[in-house]
Chains A and B, each alone.
Chain A
């Protein structure tokens, strides 16, 4: 039962995360640790505001606002602690936040959500387009986010993967996902 595998050259194309040397931020308040503490304080304040309409205590016992408010205050305190504890550390930059590179992925995800079962925007509405449209849309838009994107390859890949997904989820697994109601009625 010896399974000899012939000589293989494995090249994997995957983003690595090499430990890069720390870069100081442009402003000490933008250093990672301090920013983390600051974000916690901001998050706690936001939660306090979001839950400000909830009763703290009721006659029957704990009100629905007790736990959220207590947790929000704890988070703010932890944020302050984080800022104090890391105050004397040399601040490190968080690096780039390339939101524009991620945008195509988000657009793909939202387009999937809008088209899979239709969506009513008020002014206009998207009909139920089903998996046959939603899946390739999400693949193509997401794929466009890659720096080394090849559109011909991506289109073919999207078509094949859509077919596989429809076959797998709708037919093999019997989930009630709309496929293409505008074309074949389901």
Chain B
């Protein structure tokens, strides 16, 4: 406990330098700016803004990226409430009652509750991260290649179980992601694999190119292909800050959402996305008036938004302590850390405590920034929402191009992303989810590395994964989760959570 406070103190002293507060502020601001744009989710936002952080020092860059992430999350909720267009999966729930509140002239209250709920959730999640960081890291150091391999397999299986829709399709997407990560030079022998002699594939497919292609360009293709529809909200934004009475009525929902989000956020794959759905379902179940849900209940905004933010934050835990990104956003963080020369894993906390604790503390500052800057700037975001899509998407295209080029000064990355955009569109048309693909892709290289290391240590014997008790336990958890998920009764209730609206 004392240790945790000391660590947070160190973190705050790093994060509270003028420079880092500025980066945090800037990250939140531009993250919200891009995240508020309809149809631009956090993954696309972070990919677009990644180059902005290239010229900073590692600590500043990561602090800014974390700020961008929260900004993007909050921006997405703003759009969901004001115009009923959830920019991303996590804002879908917010859109249900949030937009109904907006129609009743309570948009301000919904936004205010979302911001305050997010802040409380963020504060709690920061403490959770600080408390769990040291023990988790110690656990991570106990892991050998075989245990790491089994942990990743379990994570990928859980990601499939938690995905929406068809299990077969989600599984196929994960495997396809791992397969795509095999493209490029073999890490041991340097032999080119599946590159077709193309120079641009020698180093493998860049994750940023994949992310921008599928989540950036693919989204644009999707919007161009489907018929346009105008969504109109008329009315007042109304008072932003809730009264004490209103706040008291929502504190329970915020607390429950925070708890749910903190737990679910650590899970791989859709964990953080599941959190707001679970919170909504819980609030509806314990409410005196469940029939009002869907007609603009404040608790149905405050709870899921808190869950959303807590989950967004605790999903940093596997990344920071074990070096394993649990979802596509965290995968981008890995990319950003690699560009800065930091290999994520249990050694980061030991080797660069300033960076680690500075980042953790800046999460809390970032959440504070969201309340301080976003509420007063709501008028600006509203104006931004009025930019017509015909101008918005060419701007996104240009930003993506510049971003892709600037990361490696390689025009081939720009072309690759363009082609991958078509893949993203095809996935959308065939109703494949792109998020498991991205996750499989990021974990793929690590998976193969650990597999080979483990097999070298065991002299090629596959039983090494079953003889280590830790590894066996992890594989069993994965097997049990998969078995449960295919049972018909569980499948039905799993589908029900997602169609709660």
Are A175 and B39 touching (Cβ within 8 A)? no
**In the complex, how many residue pairs between chain A and chain B have their CB atoms under 8 Å apart?**
272
Q: A62-B451, A154-B394 are in contact. Are A10 and B385 (CB under 8 A)?
A: yes
Of chain A, the residue at the smallest CB distance from B179 is A71
- With beta carbons under 8 angstroms apart, the residue of B39, B171, B237, B402 that contacts A177 is B402
Question: Within residues 139 to 186 of chain A, which ones have a CB less than 8 A from any CB in chain B?
Answer: 139-140, 142-143, 145-150, 153-154, 157-158, 161-162, 165, 169, 173-177
Q: How far is the CB of A101 from chain B (nearest CB, A)?
A: 5
Q: Are B225 and A98 in contact (CB under 8 A)?
A: yes
Q: Which residues of A contact B224 (CB under 8 A)?
A: 15, 98, 101-102, 105, 145-146
Across the two chains, which residue of chain A brings its CB closest to B425?
A: A102
Smallest CB-CB separation from B227: which chain A residue? A15
A11 to B230, CA, bound (A): 7
In angstroms, how far is the closest chain B Cβ from the Cβ of A53?
9
Q: How many angstroms between the C-alpha atoms of A18 and B455 in the bound complex?
A: 50
Binary flags per residue of A64-91, CB closer than 8 Å to B gives 1, else 0: 1101100110110011011001000000
Q: Given known contacts A67-B451, A109-B397, A109-B401, is B176 in contact with A1 (CB within 8 Å)?
A: no
The reply on B193 being an interface residue by CB < 8 A is: yes
Query: Which of A11, A15, A61 is close to B229, meaning CB atoms less than 8 Å apart?
Result: A15
Interface string of B399-428 (1 = CB under 8 A from A): 111100110010110110110011001100
B239 touches A4 (CB 8 A): yes
Residues of B within 8 A of A39 (CB): 426, 430
Residues of B within 8 A of A61 (CB): 452, 455-456, 460
Report B-chain residues with C-beta under 8 Å of the C-beta of A123.
none
Nearest neighbor of B224 in chain A, beta-carbon distance? A101
Q: Does B438 contact A (CB under 8 A)?
A: no
Q: Interface on B for A, CB 8 Å cutoff?
A: 38-39, 51-52, 54-55, 82-83, 85, 108, 166, 168-169, 171-172, 175-176, 178-179, 182, 186, 188-189, 191, 193-194, 196, 217, 220-221, 223-237, 239-241, 375-376, 378-379, 382, 385-386, 388-391, 393-395, 397-402, 405-406, 409, 411-412, 414-415, 417-418, 421-422, 425-426, 429-432, 448, 451-452, 455-456, 460
| A142 contacts B452, C-beta separation under 8 Å | no
Query: Contacts A47-B179, A105-B220: A10 and B415 contacting too (C-beta < 8 A)?
Result: no
Structural contact, B398 and A135, CB atoms closer than 8 A:
yes
How far is the CB of A8 from the nearest CB of chain B, in Å?
Answer: 6
Neighbouring B residues of A95 by C-beta, 8 Å: 225-226, 429
A112 to chain B, nearest CB (A): 4
- CB-CB under 8 A from B397, the residues of chain A are 105, 108-109, 138-139, 142
Chain B CB within 10 Å, residue with most, of A12, A110, A176 = A12
Give Cα A65–Cα B169 distance, bound, in whole angstroms. 24
Q: Once the chains are docked, how many angstroms separate the CA of A51 from the CA of B409?
A: 29
- Contact call A105/B379, Cβ cutoff below 8 A: no
A135 touches B241 (CB 8 A): no
Q: How far is the CA of A13 from the CA of B220 in the complex (A)?
A: 14
Chain B residue at minimum C-beta to C-beta distance from A147: B228
Which residues of A have CB within 8 Å of B390? 13, 143, 146, 148-150, 154
Which A residue sits closest to B239, measured CB to CB? A2
Measured in the bound complex, the distance between the Cα atoms of B414 and A134 in whole Å is: 12
Taking the nearest CB of chain A, how far is it from the CB of B256, in angstroms?
27
A173 to B406, CA, bound (A): 11
| A contact residues around B38 at 8 Å (CB) | 12, 14
Contact between A11 and B232 (Cβ–Cβ < 8 Å)?
yes
Knowing A50-B194, A138-B401 touch, does A94 contact B175 (C-beta < 8 A)?
Answer: no
Tell me if A71 and B402 are in contact (CB < 8 A): no
Contacts of A157 in B (CB 8 A): 391, 394-395
Question: How far does the alpha carbon of A152 sit from the alpha carbon of B165 in the complex, in Å?
Answer: 44
Residue of B nearest to A72 (CB): B179
When distances are taken between beta carbons in the complex, the residues of chain B under 8 Å from A51 are 182, 193-194
| Docked-complex contact A175 and B415, CB < 8 angstroms | no
- Chain A: residues with Cβ within 8 Å of the partner, total of 88
Sample (11) of A-B pairs whose CB atoms are under 8 Å apart: A3-B375, A12-B85, A68-B182, A71-B175, A82-B168, A95-B429, A106-B422, A112-B414, A138-B394, A139-B397, A147-B228
Q: What residues of chain A lie closer than 8 Å to B430, measured between beta carbons?
A: 32, 35-36, 39, 94
Q: Please measure, in the bound complex, the distance between the C-alpha atom of A146 and the C-alpha atom of B23, giving whole angstroms.
A: 35
Whether A64 contacts B386 by the Cβ 8 Å rule is no
**CA A78 to CA B175, docked complex, whole Å:** 10
Given the known inter-chain contacts A15-B226, A143-B390, please indicate yes or no for A165 contacting B398, CB distance below 8 A: yes
Q: Are A142 and B393 CB-contacts (below 8 A) given A36-B432, A102-B225, A113-B412? A: yes
Chain A min CB distance to B31 (Å): 15
Please determine whether A177 and B406 come into contact, CB atoms closer than 8 angstroms: yes
Q: Is A21 an interface residue (CB 8 A)?
A: no
Tell me if B391 and A11 are in contact (CB < 8 A): no
A158 to B417, CA, bound (A): 21
In the bound complex, do residue A139 and residue B394 qualify as a contact, i.e. CB atoms below 8 Å apart? yes
Q: CA of A97 to CA of B426 in the docked complex: distance in angstroms? A: 9
- When C-beta atoms are compared, the residue in chain B nearest to A135 turns out to be B398
Task: Check B179–A8 contact: CB distance below 8 A.
Answer: no
Knowing A62-B452, A140-B394, A158-B394, the reply to whether A5 touches B108 (Cβ < 8 A) is yes
> Which residue of chain A lies nearest to B457 when distances are taken between CB atoms in the complex?
A61
List the B side residues contacting A106 at CB < 8 Å. Answer: 418, 421-422
Residue in chain B with minimal CB distance to A43: B176
Given contacts A3-B241, A5-B236, A40-B176, 19 further A-B contacts (CB under 8 A): A5-B108, A5-B378, A10-B232, A13-B388, A13-B389, A16-B229, A18-B229, A68-B193, A96-B225, A101-B225, A109-B418, A113-B415, A138-B397, A142-B398, A143-B394, A146-B390, A148-B390, A154-B390, A154-B394
Task: Give the Cβ gap from A175 to chain B, nearest Cβ, in Å.
Answer: 5
Question: Which residues does chain B contribute within 8 Å of A169, judged by CB atoms?
Answer: 51, 402, 406
CA distance A9 to B386 in the complex (A): 10
Bound complex: CA A113 to CA B402 (Å): 9
Contacts of A102 in B (CB 8 A): 221, 224-225, 422, 425
Q: Name the residue on A nearest B416 (C-beta).
A: A113
Known contacts A10-B82, A10-B386, A135-B402; is A109 also within 8 Å of B394 by CB?
no
Chain A residue numbers with a CB within 8 Å of B229 are 14-16, 18
